[in-house]
Amino acid sequence: MFTMDLFSGIGRLGVAFSGGVDSSVLLALAVRELGPDRVVAILGVSPSLAADEREGAHAVARFIGVAVAEVNTFEGERDAYRANGPDRCFHCKDELFTRIADEVVTAYRLDAVAYGENADDARRADRPGGRAAAAHRVLRPLADAGLDKAAVRRLAREFGLPCADKPAAPCLASRIPHFEPVSPEKLAQVERAEAALRGLGFGDLRVRHHGDVARIELPPDDLERAVRDPLRSRLRAAVLAAGFRFAALDVAGVQSGAFTLPLVRRG
């Protein structure tokens, strides 16, 4: 069993929690070291969080045995967030950590707040949320311990977490091209389309919002079956029902950082 002193000197810890693999492993490690009564999972709720992701986060927290504190975030009221530049994640995380500081830290008598950045993400140029974490003195125990994505996945399986094999699920705003404004209507379209595709049996996927066009990213194996009827027709109908006029399959497959990485590399 993995052991490491990641939380030395902390009496009560809040974990910024999404139900994804990274934050779930961090939460499980914190509970193992501090005990469930000294750890709180903090879930930010806004239109950028899909309903099934919210439900899944609660399920993982129940499995780990820790309480969830939901905090409403209002990044959509920030002009810089809606403008959707490459630093959008900074404004989102800054809103989250501000709300946590204002509403959760005192209420739960927390000594510190941590989030689940891993060592791989800490090295990526398209993760401006890390600047917000640093500004708010939010801890990043996984990255500081040198735990990369592969190590975090191994721990998730070792702990038997229900999200151990869950695909990465960035927030819904990541589906909108930079400099195209983020709006609740676009986020809802993407959420409806992705939920419908999951209902058709697709797991790892993205629906990128290009106005009337939904650009669908799927793993290679899923691409092959997505173009065969009757699934092809059902996929198209599901996307059109979400409010798009056209459904396009991207043969490049699922692309992490598809909108942000080209911009930060160019800069």
Query: What positions carry a catalytic annotation?
Result: 171
Task: Give Cα 30 to chain centroid, integer Å.
Answer: 19
CA distance 133 to 80: 17
Are 40 and 74 spatial neighbours (Cβ–Cβ below 8 Å)?
A: no
CA atoms within 13 A on the CB side of 10: 25
CA distance 18 to 13: 16
Whole-angstrom CA distances from 120 to 35, 114, 144, 152, 208 are: 28, 17, 11, 10, 24
Are 99 and 73 spatial neighbours (Cβ–Cβ below 8 Å)?
A: yes
Rg (CA), the chain: 19
Give just the sign of the alpha carbon dihedral 242, 167, 36, 89: negative
State the residue for tokens 């999951």.
198
Sheet of strand 39-45: strand arrangement = 67-72, 39-45, 13-16, 112-115
